[in-house]
Structure 1
């Protein structure tokens, strides 16, 4: 019974942390079923995302520091979207005033929602990192993963090499988290795989409701290829590395400020 209760507690904390992604998926479903007046679907989705972001900040569900991280992910995701749409990897076929280079601005919030989940879960589950690699390893690795999303169109795709480097760099790393007052731990590489898999599941839901469209989904919706899990896995790692680095920098600054006040 205790294990079941802990599982329910963990699921509830995860659900609360996924509030932003849930709103996005609900909005995709509703606007697909019920056309809204005056503006296009993409424009309404952008307005909903902006209102959701404002509401989370106003109610304290997100802090100003977390908003800065989420905004960074919005920009990173939007840059990737513009490039991928230009290369024909996927498309946004509907019209809208809020489209830039063929990409609706609401799409950046789908990446930002991943950062929102990480920030929320980090705080709710009191996440701590054990044997975290040094800064000089983390930053180049995250940069190489992100750049590979662009360069593999012109050069060799090195995602599997990068995946191998991740296993080596994070071999001894663990993530500690708390549920109901009890501390648990998980290999950090496993957490990457789990998050990447569930984002792939979310991607299937999103494409079903017309968030975007892959070339093989032009005539009719079909399951997103399982190989996309590797892409989401790498993107999650970039997200996690950025959030973890910023959290550690922020924690170090807070510690130094507290030490200064004590002295």
Structure 2
């Protein structure tokens, strides 16, 4: 298993000692795997969930006449969350470099998209670049934080992962299309087809507790995009930003945004893959999800060190 942070090692060791007494087969075993899956997903989302909680709290309780503009408060809060993540060793410095890269890539897109009117922010505060408050980059950083954390929490492996230079070209084309479609043809459907061709044969293998499971990588892209779309609805409801159609009154973000988030997932995966080189499934038969591989808890715990 890829190295965890010291805090995660202690949590993992305690959890494995507790779960070692659970049955290895049957309904209770399946329920245990499901609960552990949910807890790991929640842990992977800790940065994004914290940021969403701050956005919702600011919408509900931040005073209108406060001396500090709400957007500046959100920026400061996002910085504090990021600092705490590193200070309490919930993220490694290696991961922080990837998250900063997500921040920069996202901020560049925000500057362009707000300029062409794709969405807008409240014109308040001083912690901003043009029309873009600095907290906006942290929303992309939250996606990066989730990606790097889920990669090691589930010890992700990939069968038939495409060559990284091919995925890099595809990700670059997707990123360029986010800008160029305002001036020339929108190639998102062509790029969507290219994603299916490039990643269609790739299968993701992931460990929950005792067992490994498999999922087509394209399906995982869609599921993560769906959860980002849900988070986007929460963020727009909180007034973090608004689309032109929401100016007269908030309404749920259209499902067509799922395509944009799906394509953004490709950029995210490619960025993370340049830090964590995609590894193939183990050759010992532990990637078939049959549940036969069940090492002693002592061995499981030591594998995190």
**TM-score, length-normalised on structure 1?**
0.92
Aligned to 2:84: 55
**2:264 equivalent in structure 1:** 235
Tell me the equivalent position of 1:121: 150
- Give the gaps of 5 or more residues in structure 1: 252-263
Does the 8 A contact of 2:225 with 2:262 survive in 1?
yes
1:53 Cα offset (Å): 0.6
More helix by share: 1
**Shift in Å, 1:21:** 0.7
What is the aligned partner in structure 2 of residue 136 from structure 1?
165
Residue 110 of structure 2 corresponds to: 81
Q: What TM-score do you get using the length of structure 2 for normalisation?
A: 0.80
Distance in 2 (alpha carbons) for counterparts of 1:93 and 1:59: 33
Q: Where does the alignment leave 5 or more consecutive residues of structure 2 unmatched?
A: 1-27, 280-305
Q: How far apart are the structure 2 equivalents of 1:177 and 1:59? A: 26
Summarize deviations over 1:84-114 as a string: whole Å, max 9, x none.
Answer: 0000000002401112110000000000000
1:129 alignment partner, SS class: strand
| Separation in structure 2 between the aligned mates of residue 12 and residue 136 of structure 1, nearest angstrom | 34
What residue is the counterpart of 2:7 in the other structure?
A: none
Residue number in structure 2 paired with 1:25 = 52
SS at match of 1:186: strand
Match of 1:261 in 2: none
Question: Which residue, 204, 215, 218 being the options, matches 1:189?
Answer: 218
Correspondence 1:164-243 to 2 at 5 A? 164-243=193-272
The Cα shift of 1:246 comes to 2.0
Higher gyration radius (CA): 2
